[in-house]
Amino acid sequence: MVSLVPHTPDAVPDFARWPSFPFDGDLRVKQLDDPVDVEPPRKGEGTAECSSCSAPDDAYIWVSERWRVRAMDRPTGLPMVLILESRSHFDLGDLPNLLAAELGVMTVRLERAVRSLDGVARVHVNRWGDGSAHLHLWFLARPYGQLQLRGTFLSLWDSILPPITESRWRENLALVAAWLAEFGGRQLAEPPRIEWRTPSNLLEQASHPFDADREFGVELDADGRAAGDGPAAVLPIESIEPAADLDELVASPDSADPEDAVPGSSRADAVPAGVDASASEPEHTGAAVTSSEDDQPGGELDDEASDCAEQAVGTEAAGTGMSRRSAQPETVPAASGSARGGPTAGAATGSAASRGPSDQGRK
């Protein structure tokens, strides 16, 4: 009598030796169960409740009038895992022509959006449909450079790899949603919030004086100077106290250099001993003596020539009786604004009242 022996493969299939196969070691194939006569209903099939139809739009990252995209409830091992669903309850073979045409456009658009993320090399698009009767397509992003994740077992690696950070995951969701929103629909995924943190010691630093030893490792003595025989410590500007009185930095007048005296000051205008100070100042008869920036450079020479002429005339007058008036030179025009007592430009009438003392002596 011959008994039936269940068939057991002698060895595992060849794909177990592929580099992309996520397991290693001694493996054996499971025993295959007998087929069933009636398959159990899927989610959303028949009288079963459809979770996709009852889900609100807030559970998705992007929605439109006929399509919605959702993500996992937490980060996984791959950079991005998304599911494209139709808003209406259809399976793939039940789609009307309009949705069937849009499905191709949405598949390409979502694949491009996921592939645009940093660190993504390829996007695997899968459709199984054994768990839910509502149409849903999977989009799995394969990390760039991870050649071992290529091929059939990418979905298995997603559960094996350590999950990515939540901040990166949320940022990727927001980028994909924004990409889709450029073609219509509504973006629901927002980028992660930036956590602005104030330094914990900010108020403490403001309430305490500057400490050079704590800030720069410089020890200061009682006078606030760098201790030690080494080179002087370079302290920040904030740590240097201002002078108590600015006058301390100004030298006393007695110690000033005579060469530094400013013309017009009391020392620069000092009159030598034995000289009458009143004789060196011009007399004023009523007309203001003004100085002008337009003074001619020859004014001083004319005055010196006049003084010499007056001395010569006085000498000749004593010997020959010649009149002073006949010997004096031509007078300086009244319009010149000399700074040595000459009339101003406004006093051009030539009257005696508007001229200086030297003009009266030349009449």
pLDDT in tens, 249-305: 555 555 445 455 444 444 444 444 554 544 444 444 444 444 444 444 444 445 555
Q: Is the pLDDT at 218 greater than 80, yes or no? A: no
CA–chain centroid gap for 298, Å, is: 62
pLDDT in tens, 225-252: 655 554 454 545 454 455 555 555 555 5
pLDDT in tens, 129-153: 999 999 999 999 999 999 999 999 9
Q: Which of the two residues, 66 and 344, has the higher pLDDT score?
A: 66
- Per-residue pLDDT band for 17 (boundaries 50, 70, 90) equals confident
- The bridge status of strand 120-126 relative to strand 62-63 is unpaired
Measured CA to CA in angstroms, residue 255 lies from 84, 248, 259, 334 at distances of 92, 14, 12, 47
| Region of poorest pLDDT, from 40-54, 278-292, 344-358 | 344-358
Closest C-alpha among 301, 347, 309, 341 to residue 325: 309
Beta strands in 165-313 (DSSP E): 186-187
Cα(323)–Cα(333) distance, rounded to whole angstroms?
22
Cα(185)–Cα(189) distance, rounded to whole angstroms?
12
- Per-residue pLDDT band for 58 (boundaries 50, 70, 90) equals very high
Q: Where are the domains of the chain?
A: 51-187
Structure tokens at 79: 């950079």
pTM greater than the 0.85 cutoff: no
| Region of poorest pLDDT, from 42-56, 140-154, 193-207 | 193-207
CATH superfamily of 51-187: HIT-like (3.30.428.10)
Burial (CB < 10 A; 0-12, 13-18, 19+), residue 60, is: buried
Cα(214)–Cα(219) distance, rounded to whole angstroms?
9
- The residue assigned the tokens 């009242």 is 353
